[in-house]
Amino acid sequence: MIHRIAVGMSVLLLIAGVVAYQYLRHSRISQVATSELYALVPADAVAVVETDDVVAFVDDMSDGALISVSLPASDMVDCLRDYVHEFLEASPHGLSTQLSKVLLSYHQPENPVNQILYCSVEADDAALFHDFFTRYFQNPIGEPEVINFKGEDITVYQLADGHELSAYVTDNLLALSFSSRLLQQVIEAQQQSGTLASNAAFMDLQNTKSSFAHTAIYQQIDNRWEMSY
């Protein structure tokens, strides 16, 4: 339980910090196309959750609306589900619609930490992540470690329980994971054109997503992508 609280608070403080900062600078933010987010997702993902409304997604999870969808256990989803409404009450801007597009990809082997969360940010938000983390997270352990992988920086925050939370920031996108190895795969996939944005069959399916559905779930079944709501 202590682990879930620590991880949940750190994840949502980072996300809440991004949202609040974007809210204040709304007039300067350009829309990020969905394809730009998928240009970060490694093509070996086994499932992807795409949502236009992270709060509604969390509510659906809590109400059992997505219970028929078989997805691996996820620490990231558990933390969002457990703490998102606390942040709605605590944050002056809440988890607003500035998180207009959020993706969550699942990877092998199936375990609670093998997911990556993606959302839109601005280039100088990297400092904001660190500021929110060190200011509000209880018992931070020293300065974050910056790993340079193939010319790109991954920032690794050590949690008090021995786990780590890693962030990779591009000019306008954020990838966040409990596994720095997965973020290395994100960088490799970008550099080698091995992302879902390069998968024509997947993107054709994604383009059929209903504009009335705030959340879509894509899963690989028998080596074929299928979509559900």
Which pLDDT band holds residue 18 (cuts at 50, 70, 90)? very low
What are the boundaries of each domain within the chain?
A: 2-228
What predicted TM-score, i.e. pTM, was given to this entire model?
A: 0.78
Query: Per residue in 85-94, pLDDT tens?
Result: 655 554 544 4
Structure tokens at 92: 């002056």
pLDDT band at 110; cut points 50, 70, 90: confident
Q: Which is higher by pLDDT, 95 or 83? A: 83
pLDDT of 25 reads 41
Q: What pLDDT does 130 receive?
A: 56
The arithmetic mean of pLDDT across residues 139-154, rounded, is 83
The whole-number pLDDT of residue 96 equals 42
**pLDDT, tens digit (0-9, with 9 covering 90-100), for 37-82:** 999 999 999 999 998 877 777 777 655 555 446 777 777 777 667 6
Please give the average per-residue pLDDT across 94-101, as a whole number.
49
φ/ψ region of 6 (left if φ > 0, alpha if ψ in -120 to 50, else beta) reads alpha
- Confirm if 81 and 13 have CB atoms less than 8 A apart: no
pLDDT greater than 80 at residue 17:
no
**Which residues fall within 8 angstroms of residue 198, CB to CB, at 6 or more apart?**
39, 43
**What confidence tens digit (pLDDT) does each residue in 157-190 have?**
877 767 788 889 887 788 989 899 999 999 999 9
Strand (E) or helix (H) holding 87: helix 75-90
Contacts of 40 by beta carbon, 8 Å cutoff, 6+ apart:
118, 170, 173, 175, 186, 189, 190, 195
